[in-house]
Amino acid sequence: MLTAGGAGLVLAGLADPFRAGPARAAVTTADLVVYGATSGGLAAAITMRRLGRTAVVVEPTSHVGGLSTAGLGATDTGVQASIGGLAAEFYRRVYVKYHGGTPTPTSPLRMTFEPHVAADVFADLLAEAGVPVVVGARLAGLGRTGNRITELRTEDGSIYRGGVFVDATYEGDLLAMAGVGFTVGRESNDTYGETINGVQSRNTHQFAYPVDPYVTAGSPSSGLLPGISATPLAPQGTGDDRIQAYCFRMCLTQASNRIPFGRPAGYDPIRYELLLRHIQAGYAGPYFTTHSVGGGKTDSNNNGAVSTDHIGFNYAYPTASWAARESIIAEHRSYQQGLMWFLANDPRLPASVRDSTARWGLPVDEFTSTGGWPPLLYIREARRMVSAYVMTEHDCRGRVRAADSVGLASYTMDSHNCQRVVVDGRVRNEGDVQIGVPAPYPVSYRAIVPHQAQCANLLVPVCLSASHIAYGSIRMEPVFMILGQAAATAASLALTGNLAVQAVSVSALQGRLRQDGAVLDWGPTGEVILDNAAASGITRAGTWLRSTGVGGYYGPDYEHDGNVGKGVNRLRFRPTLPASGSWTVQLRWTANSNRATNVPVDIAYSGGVATRTVDQRQSGGQWVPLGTYPFTAGTEGSVLIRTEDTDGHVVADAVRFVRA
């Protein structure tokens, strides 16, 4: 039972569900106390309430929903079919917000969305579950008995007591205060026998033209430009304490009532001298991404050698005090706001750069309390717990598979750049890695619980135990929700059996997770992919053109109808399925503003044909589910892409069948 010793708890579903009252409860007691209102923390609390127990979420900032509601609306997903449980429900509810109706287990997942839509979905889930959320409550201390946490104490003097605790922060503040082992930075390749950890000097998000690193070009005595390290580049694979760069995920619009980019206080053009020199050398952009998320808005992220990532200015953040963190956040905000002002206004830039940037601005209906600017810095990586199982590159590549799976991850092993250095008299970025994984892989339960001797009633679904490069694949918002659900389910089982979280029966945990829709396994026969470039299994009518013009395609290229031959141009995928049974059909395409919004797709299955309509201006570069149907083994089933009456280019890229 949730009890409170006074007024001030914020109950989701009230008129202002995420605002703390002027007076807080002196003591709040719940079965589960979640520190951090990230997507993973909210998933944990909602799950606990659905399991019939009490939960409270304590958030140190004023923001609820983490990056999912702070601008990261173009979700990094990997394989959509590996997303199950509450995470999948969240994205189905997002779809319904845009398309109407009632979410069902077969509703499509929508992975792109405006920030306020994600906030509305979380508000609905919290209200339905009756989860109290307290904001502006920074952790100040802990109560412990032996190896168990008994209570959290926040700076305002409030106390939160519970049977089990979850650290769902991006920083890992609770686990650190509880004495749980952690690391910050990059391990060497030798630490876990990896190949892409540590220092990685590669060519992605790299300077395309030579750029001089010195304040006065050609004069080393003038000193290095801001953000360039004077330390020589270490050998490939060397470990260090550097972390990948942070930025704000801007939500931009070209609406007529947009908020123009303002010149921040303390603006100094020297910060952008590297970008200016790169442009003057011939670089023509892009300077930031403009991924469409709906409503005429974007999720805008780093893109290129000098962009929104503030490389090298976040090293102290993971373990810093709140005052120091606020200073680091302010530095990032000032840098990025200045970047946008520079691109839109600096007279030394070509008019085309200034004009194209100035067409964008901040939307008036997002982040209204912060003037349209995102309220949360994207903490891509901070502390990482070190527990009995460390997720590594070997897990990501499928070379080892944890038997105690509590969810799947499937995104690329991804690290943004970690530093700028001087190599042969030119500036060079270091640290960016983008290497795909062959298939979804399990995340170990042991990776979200600490060593029992350190803490017996804490779960960590966000700052979990993983090497730097493995964390780069796992650290995606859907996975945080998946692991948050697993953490709460384990917490409930621990309370039922009066057990340490490390002693929870994995089979019982997995059984309950599967009952609640989680996807825990991905076998070798779990999928069949047929690409447009395959030597067999593809039949075409009319004329189809091969292209690589828009990224996100599967295989070597994709095909399109040239926006002609409507009704004549057709392309059919006919895969060879290894077994009879239910298969989920997924389609992939590359999205662009010239694509058709009404592409008819016929799925021929055992006993019938289902027609779905897809919008190819959205959800590009993803596996988009079209439903689950019965098929017989062999080549009887098919997916036909038609073009009649379509309102733009129709793309045929690849189809994927996943065993249900």
- CATH number of the domain where residue 499 is located: 3.50.50.60
Considering the domain architecture, whether residues 454 and 538 belong to the same structural domain is answered as no
Q: How far is C-alpha 205 from the chain's CA centre?
A: 19
Considering the domain architecture, whether residues 411 and 542 belong to the same structural domain is answered as no
Q: What is the DSSP letter of 418?
A: -
Question: Using an 8 Å Cβ cutoff, are 412 and 80 in contact?
Answer: no
Considering the domain architecture, whether residues 398 and 538 belong to the same structural domain is answered as no
Judged against a pLDDT cut of 50, whether residue 7 lies above it is answered with no
Judged against a pLDDT cut of 70, whether residue 11 lies above it is answered with no
Residue 96 lies in a domain: yes
pLDDT at 529: 86
HSE (side-chain half, CA atoms, 13 Å) at 391: 37
Considering the domain architecture, whether residues 453 and 548 belong to the same structural domain is answered as no
Considering the domain architecture, whether residues 36 and 147 belong to the same structural domain is answered as yes
CA distance 119 to 70: 9
Considering the domain architecture, whether residues 143 and 35 belong to the same structural domain is answered as yes
Considering the domain architecture, whether residues 539 and 622 belong to the same structural domain is answered as yes
Judged against a pLDDT cut of 80, whether residue 25 lies above it is answered with no
Question: Using an 8 Å Cβ cutoff, are 584 and 81 in contact?
Answer: yes
CATH of the domain at 564: 2.60.120.260
Considering the domain architecture, whether residues 392 and 483 belong to the same structural domain is answered as yes
Judged against a pLDDT cut of 60, whether residue 198 lies above it is answered with yes
Please name the residues in contact with 150: beta carbons below 8 A apart, sequence gap of 6 or more. 142, 143, 144, 161
41 by DSSP, 3-state: which?
helix
Beta-sheet pairing, 527-531 with 433-435: unpaired
Q: How far is C-alpha 52 from the chain's CA centre?
A: 29
CA distance 17 to 133: 8
Q: Out of 516, 545, 562, pick the residue that ends a domain.
A: 516
pLDDT at 78: 87
Residue 51 lies in a domain: yes
Considering the domain architecture, whether residues 126 and 104 belong to the same structural domain is answered as yes
Confidence of residue 254 (pLDDT cuts 50, 70, 90): very high
305 by DSSP, 3-state: which?
coil
Confidence of residue 17 (pLDDT cuts 50, 70, 90): very low
Structure tokens at 298: 């974007």
Judged against a pLDDT cut of 50, whether residue 471 lies above it is answered with yes
Count of positions (residues) in the chain: 660
Considering the domain architecture, whether residues 170 and 62 belong to the same structural domain is answered as yes
Q: Supply the mean pLDDT for the chain.
A: 94
Question: Using an 8 Å Cβ cutoff, are 246 and 314 in contact?
Answer: yes
What residue type is 201 in one-letter code? S
Angle at the Cα of 107 from the Cα atoms of 105 and 112, rounded to 5 degrees: 125
Residue 342 lies in a domain: no
Q: Tens of pLDDT along 516-556?
A: 999 998 865 567 889 998 888 999 999 999 998 888 888 78
Q: What percent of the chain has pLDDT over 70?
A: 96
Lowest-confidence region among 25-29, 183-187, 409-413: 25-29
State how many domains the chain has: 2
- Domain housing 147: 27-185+383-425+436-516
For residue 286, say if its preceding peptide bond is cis, omega within 30 degrees of 0.
yes
Judged against a pLDDT cut of 60, whether residue 4 lies above it is answered with no
Q: Tens of pLDDT along 551-608?
A: 888 878 899 999 999 999 999 999 988 888 899 999 999 999 999 999 999 999 998 9
Backbone angles phi and psi of 97, in degrees to 5: -60, -35
Of 348, 369, 313, the residue nearest 135 (C-alpha): 369
Q: Tens of pLDDT along 137-193?
A: 999 999 999 999 999 999 999 999 999 999 999 999 999 999 999 999 999 999 999
CA distance 347 to 335: 19
Q: What is the DSSP letter of 269?
A: G
pTM > 0.85: yes or no: no
pLDDT at 526: 65
pLDDT at 416: 98
Considering the domain architecture, whether residues 33 and 159 belong to the same structural domain is answered as yes
Question: Using an 8 Å Cβ cutoff, are 625 and 108 in contact?
Answer: yes
Q: Residue 72, class by beta-carbon neighbours within 10 Å (0-12 exposed, 13-18 middle, 19+ buried)?
A: buried
Judged against a pLDDT cut of 80, whether residue 99 lies above it is answered with yes
Considering the domain architecture, whether residues 502 and 564 belong to the same structural domain is answered as no
CA distance 211 to 228: 12
